Structure 1
Amino acid sequence: MSGAGAPKVTVDGSGLRVVVIAASWHEQVMDGLLAGARRALRESGADWTEVRVPGSFELPVAASRAAAGGADAVVALGVVIRGGTPHFEYVCSAATTGLTDVSVRTGVPVGFGLLTCDDEAQALDRAGLEGSSEDKGAEAVEAAVATAVTLRDLTLAPVLH
């Protein structure tokens, strides 16, 4: 299981502005990812806004706009399920590379909640729904908020000589 050994990340995200960007494909899986993200955001104390985009391919451009608009962290949620064409590889690669680029280019952490699954059962098992073994929506929020807090603390840290 990919989630084995994952740490439970808990930080105080009070004062942070988080933008959650969610794709619209695979409604049941996305409902679970969003529910987990919302729960983790409430627990963190961060303020957040949600926006929807058509699919996972559109996540990077929306993340870029959110980062440029003053978000302290962005959470990208989506799901791509393998089919019989190379479309899966193209979308997964473009979305992953694009989200990484946004984070590195802007210095705004992007929580990676993009599920790349071989079938719907794998996606449902990671969606944080009742009976799921993982909650990738919550994990993406926890990672983004913890990183934003770390970056804020690095900015405020005194220089040691």
Structure 2
Amino acid sequence: MSGSGAPTIEIPRAEGVRVAVIAAQWHPKVTDALVAGAERALTESGVTDYKVVRVPGSFELPVAALHAAKGGYDAVVALGVVIRGDTPHFEYVCQAATDGLMRVATDTGVPVGFGLLTCDNDPQALDRAGLPDSREDKGYESAQAALSTLLATRAL
């Protein structure tokens, strides 16, 4: 894990915005922690109008994110984890979910915080999940990025 070069992003005040948190159900220890981190970032930003929706896996994140974006949410936070295995499944799911989430953002103009962990193994995922002994909190960072992008686009 690099970690070097990460920007310092202030938690923006974002009262009055609606945020959808879409999270996969696979690897619940990791995804539950990602959701908790996202909720903490939203609360610190003053966001009170948010909804958490769970989908089966990371492959399903884009379609749920699209419905949220079209359903009037101001920002979407997409959370999941795919861990490399012995088949090409990892590459297909990671690429499809990444491309799909980017397409949701660019096609709708609604910011999507990218919290899809693509890890080689369980320890890498746990280290990014925002657990007490994790080095990173990608759920928190993804919500922070979605809100920061929302405010930046509103300023344009």
**TM-score bracket for this pair, using the shorter chain length:** over 0.9
- 2:108 corresponds to which residue? 106
TM-score, normalization by structure 1: 0.93
TM-score by length of 2: 0.96
Which secondary structure state, in structure 1, belongs to the residue aligned with residue 155 of structure 2?
Answer: helix
Aligned to 1:65: 67
Map of 2:150 onto structure 1: 148
Match in the other structure for 2:8: 8
Distance 2:71 2:4 in 1: 35
- Matched AA of 1:51: V
Letter in 2 for 1:147: T
- Cα RMSD, aligned residues only: 0.9
Which residue is equivalent to 1:158?
Answer: none
Instruction: Identify the residue that residue 78 of structure 1 maps to in structure 2.
Output: 80
Residues 44-72 of structure 1 show CA distances to partners (whole Å, capped at 9, x for unaligned) of 11221110000000000000000000110
What secondary structure does 1:124 align onto?
A: helix
Q: Deviations over 1:103-135 (max 9, x none)?
A: 000000000000000000000000000110000
Structure 2 Cα separation of the partners of residues 130 and 14 of structure 1: 28
Detail structure 1 runs of 4+ shifted over 4 Å in the superposition.
none
Query: Aligned partners of 1:83 and 1:97: how far apart in 2?
Result: 21
Task: Decide which of 108, 115, 121 is 2:117's aligned counterpart.
Answer: 115
Residue type of the partner of 1:63?
Answer: A
Q: Secondary structure at the match of 1:131?
A: coil
Runs of 5+ consecutive residues of structure 2 not aligned to the other structure: none
